[in-house]
Every structure is written in C-alpha cells, then in structure tokens.
Structure 1
Amino acid sequence: MKELAIFVSGRGSNFRAIHGATKSGEIAGRVALVVTDKPQCPAADYARENGIEVVHYPTPDMEPPALLHALKQAGIDFIILAGYLKLVPSEVVQAYPRAMLNIHPALLPAFGGKGYYGRRVHEAVIASGAKVSGVSVHFVDEEYDHGPIVAQVVVPVQPDDTPDTLAKRVLQQEHRLYSKVVAALCRGEVR
C-alpha cells in the first residue's frame, strides 16, 4: 500500500474522491497527509474529521526543507495536487520525480499556467469559442500546469454552456479520471 500526500487549497472535491477510492480499495494507497496553504479550508476540515494529519504550508516557520522532512516522516510515496494553488517548491519537485501529479480542468497545454484555475479556466474556454474542453492529469515540474501529460479526457462545450455548467461536467470527469490515474500510479503502471 502506497502512502499519499494530498496538497489542496479549497473544497477538496478531488481529494474527497481520491480518499473515498482509497477507502473502497479502488486505490491501493492511504491518504497519510494533507498539505494546505489554507488550514481552515473545507478540505482541511474534512481531513481532520477523517483522522488525516494536516500540515500548513507555506508559513514563515516552514521552509521547503521542513516540508520535505514532514513528507519523509510520513513515508510519502506520491504527492497528489488537488486544487493546490501555490507553486510547489523545486526542492520538493526534485525529491519526488515522476511521483507528483496534478489535475487541471482543461486540455493542456491550452488554458493552463499561472492564473488559470477554477472558474477562470472555464471562462477562458468559453470566451475562446473552443468546441471542447476537458481534464488533464500530468506529472508536476517547476512550472504551473506543465510537465508530462499522463491522461486526458475530452468534455464537449455545449452552445449554451456557461462557465458554471461547463465546470460541473468537467468536475465529474475530474473525479473519475484522477482516481483511475492515482490507482494506476499506486500499481506501478504510470511512469
């Protein structure tokens, strides 16, 4: 069984989906640690309610070496970014090569990079006139929404879509795809 750290900044719906998949046995892993820049966010509350240790990062007292120490102390095999809005320090990225995933609510490389998160992504997709959007899961490197793409799912953009209606359909696909990819990662099928 693999030890997972989830990095999150908000509601944590992808975190909850992954946690549920670990509990059901779909993912041969355990969420051992949650790292958040917002310790009072709903995802952090959910983690505490489920007995999962929560680490607040970044803080003035916690620099990248301290975060790495916390990850190593917890025996973390893989890091899963699930709506974490901060750039992961290069020291952490380098310590977890091809062992850190991110999910993005569009078909990368389009509509990705700094500032492209949440509703902003869907607004940009609709404003562009794109006929499709989707979900991308990729390995993390030192840039936002960059790194080798592991899996993608296409979500058609409907003529009457709003950012909210598109976001709802994309999020449904995020939950399905991310759990499948994390399960494959834990089985050693993603490299």
Structure 2
Amino acid sequence: MEAQSVALRGYIHGALSSLQSRKTDALTKFPKPFSSEIRCSFLSICSSTKRTLRCRSSVEKIEYKGVFDTEESNPESKVSLKKLAVFVSGGGSNFRSIYEATINGSIHGHIVVLVTNNHDCGGAEYARGKGIPVILFPPRKGAEEVFSADDLVTALRSYNVDFVLLAGYLKLIPTELIKAYQKAILNIHPSLLPAFGGKGYYGMKVHKAVIASGARYSGPTVHYVDEEYDTGRILAQRVVPVLANDTAEELAARVLVEEHKLYVEVCSALCEERIIWREDGVPLIQSKHDPSHYL
C-alpha cells in the first residue's frame, strides 16, 4: 500500500512538473503535492485564441489559473484599428461589402465617413441608415456654400481618416487630396488594367468594350490612385473568363462577384499593414499566414 502511495505521489508530481515546464504567458506555479489524497482536476477551456488551465486541490480549496496561447499571434493585434473613408457615386455594392467585412472582423478597420457626388444615391442612403456621416463632394452647381478640395481634406482629417477607398466614384480625385493621402487612396476598376481603363471607361461601358474586343479574359483591378483615371500602381487583380455568348450584363455580374471578394481581401491587407513596396515602386501584398510569400 505504501509503495502504491509513493508511486501515486511520484506520478502527480511528475504531471504537475511537466505542466510547469510549458512555455506560457503567465502560468502560475503549482505547489508540490503533500498528500496522496490530493485530487487534481484539469479543465481545459478553449476559445479562439486562448486556453485556460485550472487545477483545483480538494484539500486546500485553492484554484490556480494559467493562460497560454494556442495560436500564433494575430497580426491585427499589433496594429491600430484603421479609420476608412469610402467614396461612391451609385448603389455602392462594394461599399456595402466592405462595411459588412468591417462589422464581421474580416477588415481591421471601420468606416467613419462616406463621400459622394450624388446625394440621393443608394450608397449614400445605405450609409445614413448605418449612422455613417455623408459628405457631398463636389457640391451641386449653384450651391450656396462653397466646399473646396482643401475643405474636403480638412473634413477627412477631422475624422482621422487613415485610408480612402473609391468604390464606384466617378469624379476625378483632386490633387489636394492625393497629396494629403499619398499611397493611401485605392480604387477598384472592373477590367484588367491597363486594358479598358481611363476617362470614359466605367460601368457597363467597360464590359461592352471587353466583349467587342474579343478578349478572352477580364476581371477587377485594385490600384492606387494618382492624378489621372486608372493609371496608378496596380495592387491586385482577379481573372474572370469571358464566355463566347456573354452579354455585357452577364460579364458584369461575374466580375462584380470577384470585385466584392478582391476589394475586401485588399482592404484587409491594407488595414493590417501588409502592403510592401518594392524598390522599383511596385506594391505587393504580403501573405497573412506566410510573410515570405506575396500575393
């Protein structure tokens, strides 16, 4: 009987010593067992990022807790939550998908203001419904109050905007805004730039031109914004096939599905500070799971 007691004490002591040796954030040391009557129960409670280990001694009535990571560090925890301004002119389907991604946590940021040149567009109505402030720019002709490009920059800075996202905004971005937000303004275009881009290429006009050209592939492009239409550095693209009997509407619908996915992925990388600029000025997206890999 005594031999069994000694063996039991040795087993418990070995188990607890093994737990103590694990690398933890703040693991509390467990006391050495003082009786063969000590009974330890271990409860492992798992969450998405943490596991809590508890040991109860039925004799001492003490609860010990230790916490250690079970997953790799989340890159989002190392950067601040980014504040976004979105520009729209129409229904704003890309704006809506980005907003939903900020709500469900796919994008480490939140939309603090919406800018539009069309006060009554669907995107503006959606923003108001979500409690997002709406700025009209440029103002309507004949408006009593003058709201300049400098005023727009001041307004965005008052919201502490980190990045500007164009999502179907049809007006040319003023130089003042580009200078104020260098390498911080993105646009999404419904073709594989540099093809079918530039002034006059927007909406259904792009898809009609793609089909008329006989191109076999199309797809969305996310690029940085400069002083011209669709000429900024390309950041990401997604290829979509052009089918033999496609109409412009059918191709547009296929491209739009990929637009929503691509823009959210790029915005996620942007807010997590995973955009790397090559020495020749080409921007690359660093993989979230493998920093040595670029998308």
TM-score between both structures, scaled by the size of structure 1: 0.99
Q: Tell me, yes or no, if structure 1 residue 27 matches structure 2 residue 95.
A: no
Match of 1:149 in 2: 234
Unaligned runs of 5+ in 1: none
Partner residue of 1:133 out of 215, 218, 221: 218
Deviation, structure 1 residue 122: 0.1
Percent same amino acid at aligned positions?
55
CA distance in 2 between partners of 1:190 and 1:166 (Å): 30
Shift of 1:18: 0.1
Aligned-partner residue type, residue 99 of structure 1: A
Which residue identity is paired with 1:34? L
1:8 to 64, 78, 88: 88
Find the aligned partners of 2:123 and 2:220 in 1 and give their Cα distance. 21
| Range with greater deviation from structure 2 (55-64 or 121-130) | 55-64
Residue in 1 that maps onto 2:244: 159
Paired with 2:179 and 2:150, the residues of 1 have a C-alpha distance of 12
Q: Deviations over 1:62-93 (max 9, x none)?
A: 11010001100000000000000000101101
Output one character per residue of 1:72-120: Cα deviation in whole Å (capped at 9) or x when no partner.
0000000000000000101101111110000000000000000100000
Whole-angstrom distance in 2 between the partners of 1:140 and 1:149: 9
Q: Distance in 2 between matches of 1:62 and 1:159?
A: 48
- Mapped to 2, the partners of 1:36 and 1:179 lie a distance apart of 20
* Structure 2 counterpart of 1:97, from 169, 182, 187: 182
Which structure has the highest helix share of the two?
1
Q: Where does residue 65 of structure 2 map in the other structure? A: none
Task: Single out whichever of 51-60 and 175-184 deviates more from structure 2.
Answer: 51-60
2:27 aligns to what? none
1:23-75 Cα shifts (integer Å, max 9, x gaps): 00000000000000001100000000000000000015111010001100000
Give the root-mean-square deviation of aligned CA atoms: 0.6
Larger CA Rg, structure 1 vs 2: 2
The amino acid across from 1:163 in the alignment is: A
| Aligned-partner SS, 2:220 | strand
**Any unmatched runs of 5+ in structure 2?**
1-80, 277-295
Is 1:62 aligned to residue 147 of structure 2? Answer: yes
Match of 2:113, SS state, is strand
Counterpart for residue 76 of structure 1 = 161
Partners of 2:183 and 2:104 lie apart in 1 by 25
Query: Paired residues, what number?
Result: 191
- Aligned-pair CA distance for 1:190: 1.4
TM value normalised by structure 2: 0.64
